[in-house]
Amino acid sequence: MTQKKTLEELTLMDDYMFAQVMRNTKFLKYLLEYILQIKIKTIRLLEPQKTEKEGYNSKGVRLDLYVEDENGTIYNVEIQTYTEDHLPKRMRYYQSILDISILNPGHDYGELRKSFVIFICNFDPFNRDRILYTFENTCKEEPDLKLGDETYKIVVNTKGTKGKISDELMEIIRYLDDEEVTGDFSRELDNAVKEIKASEERRLEYMMLYIRDNEMMAKGRKQGLQQGLQQGLQQGLQQGLQQGQIKQAVTMYRKLVHYNDSQIINAIMAEFNLSREEAEKYVSA
């Protein structure tokens, strides 16, 4: 398990720092404009690190940055710093959470809004060396036919080299990737990061999150240990019971039925679903 970073060690590619810096919607607005190559008048932060959990047994999700623009379009921006095999399905799940949060019970599906799920990764999940991957539902038989559900998924790969992007987005990517300050905007981002690191309020908040995460991990380890011990005890009892039954069967076949060793081996193999090697051990014991 990797050691959790201190506040001083965080960069903009860390979940906590990214969320804190992007609370300044000026930064987030520019970031969205540069990624999507559009113009946005205003954005409104709906709820930083919004947690959505629908139903008792559903999987909870914490949305890092969940915003809407002046047209009601919804954006969810996430930082991803570890490789996982199911990132596309993770994006699918996030998209479903956005839809659930938008559409209230009894409302018409037509009220679902245009939405973007954007993952910023410091690795290439598709191994095509592209900086941007943009996904939109299209028809397999007619590739030019769009489904028109107005859902879009975008992956920003800070390690990519292929694809034409604006100088402004490249400046941001360089800063995200290695904290390189190459212009006015990345300098503003760098100053924002430094301000957060110097803030006693943010230090206290991060410390409390650190303590909470440690408590949750400790609780999880304890529950796992208890469950493991309980399962181990149950398995041990079952194994011990079966071993006793096999030994009793060997004695019965030998003393009461007068089977020879070969007959006993065949009998307990069939009765207890043993391999020949396992059965031979019981007979020779």
pLDDT digit string, tens, across residues 207-236: 777 776 666 656 656 665 566 556 655 665
* Residues 74 and 98 sit within 8 Å (Cβ to Cβ): yes
Neighbour tally for 248: CB within 10 Å: 10
Name which of 66-75, 123-132, 232-241, 273-282 the model is least confident about. 232-241
* pLDDT confidence of residue 3: 56
242 contacts: CB under 8 Å, gap ≥ 6: 272
* pLDDT confidence of residue 216: 61
Residue type, 81: T
- Phi-psi category of 129—alpha, beta or left, where left has phi over 0 and alpha has psi -120 to 50? left
Q: Is pLDDT at 127 greater than 50 in this prediction?
A: yes
Query: Tell me: the pLDDT tens digits for 33-66?
Result: 999 999 999 998 876 444 444 443 344 455 668 8
Of the ranges 66-70, 82-86, 170-174, the best mean pLDDT one: 170-174
Give the residue extent of every domain in the chain: 7-198, 238-284
Residue type, 41: K
Mean pLDDT, the chain, integer: 83
* pLDDT confidence of residue 64: 65
Query: Tell me: the pLDDT tens digits for 83-119?
Result: 767 899 989 998 988 888 777 766 788 888 999 999 9
Per the listing, tokens 């592209």 go with: 130
- DSSP annotation string for 165-224: --HHHHHHHHHHHH----SHHHHHHHHHHHHHHH-HHHHHHHHHHHHHHHHHHHHHHHHH
> The tokens of 103 are what?
């559409």
Assign 136 a pLDDT band (cuts: 50, 70, 90): very high
Rg of the Cα atoms in the chain: 29
Residue bearing the bigger pLDDT, 232 or 173: 173
Residue bearing the bigger pLDDT, 2 or 152: 152
